[in-house]
Amino acid sequence: MLAVPLLLGDILQQFYNTVDAVIIGRYVGEAAFAAVGISGTLMNLFIFIISGCCIGMTVLFARFYGEGDRAKFRQEFFIALSFGGLFTIFISIVGVLLLPYILKLMSTPDEAFYHARSYLFIIFSGLIATYLYNMFSAVLRASGNTKSTLYFLFTGIISNIFLDLLFVAVFEMGMHGAALATVMSQLISAGLCFLYIYFTMPELVFTRDDMKFDAGLLKATFNYGSISALQQSSLHIGKILVQSCVNGLGLSAISAYTATTRIEGYVNSLGVSGTQAQSIFTAQNYGAGKFERVKKGALSGTFMYIILGAVLAPCMVIFSKPMILLMLPEADSATVAEGCSYLMWLAPFYIFDYVGCIMSGYFRGIGKMNWAFYLTFGQVALRVIFSYILVSSMQLSGVALATGIGWTFAIIFVTTNYIRSRKYLKPSQS
């Protein structure tokens, strides 16, 4: 029940970049479409650092909510908003200043460089909108209200589509228009989310009395937020390194990879929603001292996602060609063939990925943020290493196989550490 609204929200979230990609590909051209793919990888690094902070704070929110400690919840809301807001402003400035150098390090082709730089300059300048939405969503999700965030996100998506068409198709603002539409739509979602919290759950909103810094709570906020952000950033640093590897294969391979990563984004949404739902479920019950329920929840989530992976894997192979053509209608036969081969190699490994996602959420929920980080870092490191080893002989298929190797490591890691984790499910740890 927690996961379904999160899943729908994560799928909708993909539209922010997918809508930009489709509209830009149609009205601006293939070089611009490839630039969106390159931009998306780099943009997601910064966005997932921000969302990673919020994911870590969600665990604290959910634990305090499970304990029934509303005063601590409100104080954490104030500390998280202050700490995270300043951090977001800092990385926004860093992103803008280092943007041209990062794009060069990624081996961005000359024909896509200007487009990518134009798009990302506005996205990075508006990262505070992304943070506010994720922060307010964290408050709602921690309380178990995952449906409301879905409604506000849907409103933002509709706004994004309308503004994209207006700025890109009508006003012909190109990449600038697509990026501006994304930032404005995120502000709309954030504003609606806050107003809902303020008027329907005022007991969760901090007041003047709650606006104080507690050393212990500040330390916990920093630890949970920073480790979770490090986990998310390591995932996307790995993707940037893989993107750099793909960039050396030429524009056709970049377009194929851009299309397949958009497809992956939707499939991965299932894993992301499972991670978040497992984390919230575990943290709430952990805070309430219901340790048997924590154990049963971990096993139930794992079983559900094994079934899900077994169903989705053949679907990804069977429908690979129409999905790629949906993302890139004007793709030539070589681009489509490369994309289909990539998905064929990747699909069988998705069960491993999903199990890793569920266990990552479980580790977060019991407070073992470092285990979740080690899980992500290990599989990402293997993905990057084997991508560079295999890409010369297997092209995009080598990148897919390298990803599968990383996900295989995840199964070994979670099995070992799940057994270790059971000793932490004791009342003294709550």
Tens-digit pLDDT profile for residues 373-396: 898 899 999 999 999 999 888 888
> pLDDT for 229-274, tens place per residue?
888 888 778 887 888 888 878 777 888 888 888 788 778 888 888 8
3-state helix, strand, coil in the chain (%, to 5): 90, 0, 10
C-alpha to C-alpha distance for 51 and 129, rounded to whole angstroms: 12
Instruction: Write the secondary structure of 240-304 as one string of H (helix), E (strand) and C (coil).
Output: HHHHHHHHCCCHHHHHHHHHHHHHHHHHHHHHHHHHHHHHHHHHHHHHCCCHHHHHHHHHHHHHH
Query: Given this model, what pLDDT does residue 412 score?
Result: 87
Query: Given this model, what pLDDT does residue 429 score?
Result: 42
pTM higher than 0.85 for the full model?
Answer: no
C-alpha to C-alpha distance for 257 and 405, rounded to whole angstroms: 18
Dump the DSSP string for 301-327. Answer: HHHHHHHHHHHHHHHHHHTHHHHHHHH
C-alpha to C-alpha distance for 341 and 412, rounded to whole angstroms: 27
C-alpha to C-alpha distance for 415 and 165, rounded to whole angstroms: 48
- Classify residue 28 by its DSSP letter: T
> pLDDT for 41-57, tens place per residue?
778 778 888 888 888 88
* CA 171 vs CA 19, 178, 182, 188: distances in Å: 17, 11, 16, 21
Name the burial class of residue 121, with classes exposed (0-12), middle (13-18) and buried (19+) by CB atoms within 10 angstroms of its CB.
middle
- Ranges of each domain in the chain: 3-429
Instruction: Going from the first residue of the chain to its last (430 residues), give the mean pLDDT of each consecutive group of 10, the final group possibly shorter.
Output: 76 67 73 74 81 86 89 92 91 92 81 83 92 92 84 86 86 83 91 93 90 86 87 81 82 82 82 87 88 90 92 90 82 83 91 91 88 89 92 87 91 85 61
* CA 73 vs CA 77, 143, 205, 354: distances in Å: 6, 10, 9, 31
Residue 127 near residue 186 (C-beta atoms within 8 A):
no
Query: Given this model, what pLDDT does residue 15 score?
Result: 65
Nearest to 235 by CA among 412, 381, 409: 381
